[in-house]
Chain A
């Protein structure tokens, strides 16, 4: 096991002694800080939040009365109605984007940047060894190939975790600095077992982060697999980022016509669809998506492992 720990240290050394890595880390910090500044300068306070919530409630009611909507969406609207009523009754203002929690919540959207950077690192980790020619000296050590591959994969995931923590921390600090922390006690309204309950915002934000990570893990694994199978970093980065940004759109169009689209990877990566009550294909559930993601995860890893294990190194 100490051997495996050393392998991860080796991989980390190869990640963090490169300029490109620090460029990506710097860029992420910059975006998280700039985001807060943009929100600060462009946000306009609503005149009366009560009026807006009332208007929203009315439109929810109108939609519910139309009748020809799906059951999941109906449930979702009913929940939102209850939450809005609770809000008005107990005088709880919705979380605005120019608050500490509001900004932290929207920073979850920047996880796609973390995904992009992790894809770059994962795609490079196996393919570069081949293009540098260092794979030969790497594989003539008393360590089996599976362990070496796993250490590379773990190092990429550790990089992702590092970036997530950094994103969260920088967003929290810049949010606190620009918007203040007076609103930190404001609760998050959740709907549980038929009633509205007040919860801490931190759980809500962490949940948003966690849901966005499905994409991150899947695309990193995908890029890693392509990198191992084709030994080509550009191809791996290209395919993975293309899929990351275009995949959901294509899947969305397919899902409008075909029921089988629900088995596609991108129909399942966006787990927050279940929080919005609008799954891509009617009848999909959170557990179905998690099962599908696990399946894809296993297939990608098995492919990478099998091919890396068997390959003749002729680079």
Chain B
């Protein structure tokens, strides 16, 4: 499968300083890709280069195989984006704002505008001036302008910023639906880590303009981690663990024991417990959260 978005050794120098160091990554159709990093890591700079707002010092950005720097108008047709906050013309109505952007891309009909308005749930306020909108409504309007021309790649900077919990959930479900059902590739940057964990399939962490890691969210649960064993009797279970796996750290709590265990040893320990007649009521993987991973990768000493 050809990647929808491809960054090849992308580098950005401002003056004599290198802001982005040879960044390479790929985003495929149908996935939600998280873009993480502490403030000042270069997330926004990278996004600006992808959408052609900034020049690329060296390397290339390909969207659907088209070079953004060389063939901007053709490449950008596939992209819908919000860069930082969705800033709109406040003295115009939401509808006029959408009309403004619709006129700039060929093939966006009035019907499509109405469709997108309904999609983001702004029907009742769309003819009000944007200055009367709440942050959440502006966010929805931002999403609407990004979707107008049916892009195949959606790039969203902090899409849930300012939304209430119901709104966050709605947008999250909607983005996942767009990726799964319509096959869009979605790049989301955020520093709400738990949010990203629920939304993304894969994520990249960058720090000081360098790529630290790219991982799948599913992989997070396969690394060495805490596993909660709901067992009875607890003391006997702890004994079994100490005998069989003396190097694992054990912690007892009210329900059972928490063991820092390797993913592949979980069935073995289970078998041992059963063999020793310990009642096993449940095995719960306390997955390493993205936040822990993030702090681990970035050294944890940065303001997120």
Q: Which residues in A have some Cβ–Cβ distance to B below 8 Å? A: 3, 6-7, 9-10, 13-14, 17-19, 132-134, 136-144, 310, 312-314
* A137 engages B54 (CB within 8 Å): no
Stretch at the interface among B84-92, B185-193, B271-279: B84-92
B81 at the interface (CB under 8 A from A): yes
A17 to B94, CA, bound (A): 13
* B89 engages A132 (CB within 8 Å): yes
Residue of B nearest to A148 (CB): B104
List residues of chain B with CB within 8 A of the CB of A134: 87-89
* A140 engages B83 (CB within 8 Å): yes
List residues of chain B with CB within 8 A of the CB of A144: 72-73
Question: Closest CB-CB distance, A18 to chain B, in whole Å?
Answer: 5
10 closest A-B pairs by CB? A133-B87, A6-B103, A141-B104, A313-B53, A312-B54, A136-B83, A142-B73, A140-B51, A142-B77, A10-B100
* B84 engages A136 (CB within 8 Å): yes
A138 to B14, CA, bound (A): 23
Q: Which residues in B have some Cβ–Cβ distance to A below 8 Å? A: 14, 48, 51-55, 72-74, 76-77, 79, 81-92, 96, 99-101, 103-106, 145
Contact of A142 among B84, B86, B96, B104 (CB under 8 A): B104
* A140 engages B84 (CB within 8 Å): no
A144 to B103, CA, bound (A): 14
Question: Closest CB-CB distance, B76 to chain A, in whole Å?
Answer: 5
* A143 engages B48 (CB within 8 Å): no
Contact of B76 among A7, A142, A313 (CB under 8 A): A142
* B145 engages A137 (CB within 8 Å): yes
* B73 engages A14 (CB within 8 Å): no
* B87 engages A17 (CB within 8 Å): no
* B87 engages A137 (CB within 8 Å): yes
Given contacts A132-B87, A134-B88, A136-B53, contact A17 B96 (CB under 8 A): yes
Given contacts A7-B104, A132-B87, contact A142 B74 (CB under 8 A): yes
Given contacts A6-B103, A142-B105, contact A313 B54 (CB under 8 A): yes
* B87 engages A14 (CB within 8 Å): no
- Number of CB contacts from chain A to chain B under 8 A: 79
Known A-B contacts: A3-B106, A137-B88, A142-B72. Give 19 more (CB < 8 A): A6-B103, A7-B104, A10-B103, A10-B104, A13-B99, A19-B91, A137-B101, A139-B52, A139-B53, A140-B51, A140-B52, A141-B101, A142-B77, A142-B106, A310-B55, A312-B55, A313-B53, A314-B48, A314-B54
A18 to B131, CA, bound (A): 13
List residues of chain B with CB within 8 A of the CB of A142: 72-74, 76-77, 104-106
Residue of B nearest to A128 (CB): B89
Residue of A nearest to B145 (CB): A137
A14 to B97, CA, bound (A): 10
List residues of chain A with CB within 8 A of the CB of B83: 136-137, 140
Question: Closest CB-CB distance, A9 to chain B, in whole Å?
Answer: 7
Contact of A132 among B54, B90, B145 (CB under 8 A): B90
- Chain B interface main SS type: loop
Question: Closest CB-CB distance, A6 to chain B, in whole Å?
Answer: 4
Residue of A nearest to B106 (CB): A3
Question: Closest CB-CB distance, B118 to chain A, in whole Å?
Answer: 21
List residues of chain A with CB within 8 A of the CB of B14: 312
A3 to B100, CA, bound (A): 12
Question: Closest CB-CB distance, B197 to chain A, in whole Å?
Answer: 28
* A133 engages B85 (CB within 8 Å): yes
Question: Closest CB-CB distance, A2 to chain B, in whole Å?
Answer: 8
* A9 engages B103 (CB within 8 Å): yes
* A312 engages B87 (CB within 8 Å): no
A141 to B55, CA, bound (A): 16
List residues of chain A with CB within 8 A of the CB of B77: 142
Most B CB atoms within 10 A — which of A13, A134, A141, A312? A141
List residues of chain B with CB within 8 A of the CB of A137: 82-83, 86-88, 101, 145
List residues of chain B with CB within 8 A of the CB of A139: 52-53
Most B CB atoms within 10 A — which of A7, A18, A312? A312
List residues of chain A with CB within 8 A of the CB of B104: 3, 6-7, 10, 138, 141-143
29 A/B residue pairs, CB under 8 Å, sorted by A: A3-B104, A3-B106, A6-B103, A6-B104, A7-B103, A7-B104, A10-B103, A14-B89, A14-B92, A14-B100, A17-B92, A17-B96, A132-B89, A133-B87, A134-B88, A136-B53, A136-B83, A136-B84, A136-B87, A137-B82, A137-B88, A138-B104, A140-B76, A142-B76, A142-B77, A142-B105, A312-B48, A312-B53, A314-B54
A133 to B53, CA, bound (A): 13
* A17 engages B73 (CB within 8 Å): no
Question: Closest CB-CB distance, B129 to chain A, in whole Å?
Answer: 9
A256 to B25, CA, bound (A): 67
A310 to B54, CA, bound (A): 9
A136 to B228, CA, bound (A): 48
* B84 engages A13 (CB within 8 Å): no
A7 to B102, CA, bound (A): 11
Given contacts A133-B85, A137-B87, contact A13 B100 (CB under 8 A): yes
A314 to B15, CA, bound (A): 14
Residue of A nearest to B44 (CB): A314
List residues of chain A with CB within 8 A of the CB of B106: 3, 142
List residues of chain B with CB within 8 A of the CB of A143: 73, 104
Question: Closest CB-CB distance, B162 to chain A, in whole Å?
Answer: 15
Question: Closest CB-CB distance, B125 to chain A, in whole Å?
Answer: 17
A210 to B117, CA, bound (A): 47
Residue of A nearest to B88 (CB): A134
A139 to B54, CA, bound (A): 11
